[in-house]
Every structure is written in structure tokens, then in C-alpha cells.
Amino acid sequence: MDLKLAGKIALVTGSTAGIGFAISESLAKEGAHVYVNGRTQGRVDAAVAAIRLHGAKAKVDGIAADFSSSAGAEAVIAKLPAVDVLVNNVGIFEPKPFAEIPDEDWYRLFEINVMSGVRLSRHYLARMLKHNWGRIIFISSESAVQIPPEMVHYGMTKTAQIAVARGIAESVAGTGVTVNSILAGPTESEGVAGFVEAMAKQQNKSKKEMENDFFEHARPSSLLKRFATVDEVAAMVTYMAGELASATTGAALRVDGGVVRAIF
């Protein structure tokens, strides 16, 4: 299936590993000129090299930027003034009891998870509208719908992303620009894999036993009963970035393994 992404310029934030890296690699395979992003130049260079290694013809470059303040978006925009596809993927999470989350943590997660996408979308939208074509995709989470009690501040940012995406979509009604959010479920990304392995070691269990425990107790509503792979999430994002997804906008699309107990 030709998604008609050849020659399109795509930026994927937070893409040196995990879901972001998988999205970048998938878009590059479809012919897009992809810009990966990470906090350090070393991580960015390694990601670029890895994508080129698996796809000799891949057009991929990188931009190092830290989105913990507005300076991150400013640095990216200075080096890449226009894109056709923007994937707002960068995000952080941390388990912490609600009563122990200080103001600084609320602001820190909101700054990185939400404001990074707001700032980049605000800038890149103008060119997309001028050319009457563009894709803005926010990588949210099933945690936006079912707020995890162990990470209330994280869930809040994921809900905010969906609201922002829908609002932008409403503002560009009738144009060739689409704006959507992806609700990823529990996914075996670099951070999650490390967390599960550490817990398994701590409890003297195998990784598979820990995964089974997680879906039995923490996410019992899962229909998949396993962690999704980063490639499974990237497949949905890549389709939504393409020309063929032109009739889908303002949507919150679930790649959650059925964790959210709802038919809509």
C-alpha cells in the first residue's frame, strides 16, 4: 500500500528510542524525509545511524533539543522551519502517589508532554494551511481515558493532548490538514521494558511472569493480554500520516489492546 509519503518532511519528537524511533523508521521506509529528535546529540546520531543501517535509501537527519522549556521548540524550529508531518511523541512519566506529587512535577510533565506539542503545532500549522496539506499527530495514551492512580499527573497530560488535538482539528475544518491523537496502550518500549525487568528482578520473577501479573492486576481490562510492540503502534501512526487517511481528523484512535472498556 502506497501511503504517498515520498518526499514529505516529517518531524518525530522524542524519537531516539521506543515508539518514537519505531515511528521514525516506519515513516522513513515509506519515503518520508524524517527528522528524529532527542535530548543529546549522541543519542540523536545513534538513532539516525540505526535507521540508515536498516534502510540504505532512508532520508533521515536529527535535531538535538530538550523540551523541558520553550527553548527546545525554538531550537527545533530554527533548524527545521517547515514540516508536512508533525508527530508530537516526546513525553515522560513517573509513578508517584498523588499526595506526593509537588507542583514542580505537575508543571514539568505538562511542559514536556503538552506544551512541546502546542508550540510546534502552532508554528508548523501556518505552512500546512498555506499548502492545504499537513498531518499533526499527538501520541497520547489509554491513560488519558482511564487515569492511572499511580500517575495522576501523567494521565492529566495525556487527556490534555487529546483536547488540544481536537481543538486544533476544529480550528482547521474544511482544509487538507488533519489533526489526530493516538491512544497507545501498554507498550514494550525501552522505558517500560527496563521497568518490568527491574520489577521482575526485585520480586524474583521472570519477565513473562511480571507481564502476566501486570495484565492480571494493573490492566485486567486488556484484551490483548500482552504489551504491544512499538512497531504495532508505529503502524497506526504511519497510516494516519499518509494521504490515505485524509478523511480521519479530530479523532482519538486507540492502539490500546482493548484496555479501554468502551465500544466507542
Separation between Cα atoms, residue 138 and residue 128, nearest integer Å: 16
Question: Closest by alpha carbon to 141, among 78, 99, 189?
Answer: 189
CA distance 205 to 189: 20
pLDDT at 30: 96
* Residue 147 near residue 183 (C-beta atoms within 8 A): no
Tell me the C-alpha distance between 218 and 44, whole Å.
33
Q: Which residues are catalytic?
A: 154
Q: Which of 80-84, 113-117, 214-218, 256-260 has the lowest mean pLDDT?
A: 214-218
| C-alpha grid cell, residue 20 | 518514537
Q: What is the DSSP string of 102-114?
A: -HHHHHHHHIIII
Q: What is the pLDDT of residues 43-88, one digit of tens each?
A: 999 999 999 998 778 899 999 999 999 999 999 999 999 999 999 9
Task: Place 148 in a pLDDT band, splitting at 50, 70 and 90.
Answer: very high
CA–CA distance from 24 to each of 5, 8, 31, 204 (Å)?
Answer: 12, 13, 11, 36
Beta bridge partners of 50: none
Task: Pick left, alpha or beta for residue 92 (phi over 0 → left; psi -120 to 50 → alpha; otherwise beta).
Answer: beta
Cα distance between residue 164 and residue 261, in whole Å = 23
Least confident of 94-103, 184-193, 194-203: 194-203
Return the closest-CA partner of residue 44 out of 21, 71, 78: 21
- Cα Rg, the chain, nearest whole Å: 18
Rounded mean pLDDT of 3-15? 97
Q: How far is CA 90 from CA 3, 16, 65, 84, 263, in A?
A: 24, 10, 11, 18, 28
Residues 6 or more apart whose CB falls under 8 angstroms from that of 15 comprise 21, 23, 24, 36, 37, 38, 47, 87, 89
